[in-house]
Structure 1
Amino acid sequence: MYLLLLRLLLLLLLPILPLLLLLLSQPLLLLLLLRLLILLLLLLLLLLLLQQLLLLLLLLLLLLLLLLLLLLLLLLLLLLL
């Protein structure tokens, strides 16, 4: 079950990777995104340790929303450049 969720996360992250590479020219924004990702990963690990499947699914939904927000932010950034 967890492997399936991790695969889903990886599939969601793959389209964003080229945009993240573009962010290398924006160090402050990149640092902020890295902090967000680290925080989300820590929360995910905590929930995995607690083995609360419902909370894990809620966190995945939150992560999806954050990824969508990140995509919108990146598109806005690309439009401004």
Structure 2
Amino acid sequence: MLLLLLILKLLILLQQPLILLLLLLLLLLLLLLMLLLQLILLLKQLVLLLLLVVFVLLLLLLLLLLLLLLLLLLV
């Protein structure tokens, strides 16, 4: 990242618009890629959290059913 910025400054000094534009596009692409990676990690965490919640709810439901079954057997 820092290297790209240094090259960018060098190219500004050299005054080559086309190469500068290409480098800017590359930098932008890199930033977008990093952003996408962060988003994927965040989504993964959210999915894991959701799975955990569903699992806990299913366990509670199972417990409730067992309790009902016990009550029915006792009556």
Pair member with larger Rg: 2
Distance in 2, Cα, partners of 1:62 & 1:47: 14
Aligned length: 45
> Which aligned runs of 4 or more in structure 1 are off by greater than 2 angstroms?
none
| Aligned match of 1:54 | 18
Displacement of 1:77: 2.2
RMSD: 1.2
Distance in 1, Cα, partners of 2:8 & 2:36: 23
| Aligned match of 1:65 | 29
Distance in 1, Cα, partners of 2:44 & 2:3: 28
Identity percentage over the alignment?
A: 73
* Paired amino acid for 2:13: L
TM-score by length of 1: 0.49
Displacement of 1:54: 0.7
* Paired amino acid for 1:39: L
* Paired amino acid for 2:31: L
| Aligned match of 1:15 | none
| Structure 1: runs of 5 or more not aligned | 1-36
